[in-house]
Amino acid sequence: MRFEAYLFAGIALFFGVIGGIYDWLAHEPAGKGTLAFAFLMSALIAVFFFVQSVRHGPRAQDRREVEVAETSGPLDFFPPQSWYPPLLAAGAGVSALGLVFGVWLLLIGAGITAAGVGGFVFQYVNRGG
């Protein structure tokens, strides 16, 4: 992850330099704040990658003599069909309509959204005792 850390450190350096030039030439607070925020966020990611590279060492992808088989492994857990994504989308849609038509519809949408989020969280909890 050292390459990624250097990449984001370069991005942070870019935003820092451009932010300094912008601060010197322009007297507009929104642009200064945006560039400062971009600098801080890219610096945060760079620090995270540096810490991870020190903590875990080089990955297989970081070595030149790596074989493809060394980088393979289990991909991830892909769940079967679930009804919670459409429920969550419907709740978000009803909540958005509630911002237009009234608080009563917003509260209904918040309830539907809460049911969808709760379903996502507890979908794969072991229910057996």
Distance CA 116, CA 85 (A): 7
Q: H-type helices in 26-102, by residue range? A: 29-56, 68-71, 84-101
Task: List pLDDT tens digits, range 45-80.
Answer: 999 999 998 998 877 777 778 887 777 777 777 777
Is this structure's pTM higher than 0.75? Answer: no
Place of tokens 């892909």: 78
Instruction: Give the pLDDT score at 68.
Output: 78
Task: List pLDDT tens digits, range 6-47.
Answer: 999 999 999 999 999 999 999 889 999 999 999 999 999 999
Of the pLDDT bands very low, low, confident and very high (cuts 50, 70, 90), residue 127 is low
Helix axes 29-56, 2-25, angle to 10 degrees: 160
- Residues 6 or more apart in contact with residue 70 via CB below 8 angstroms: 60
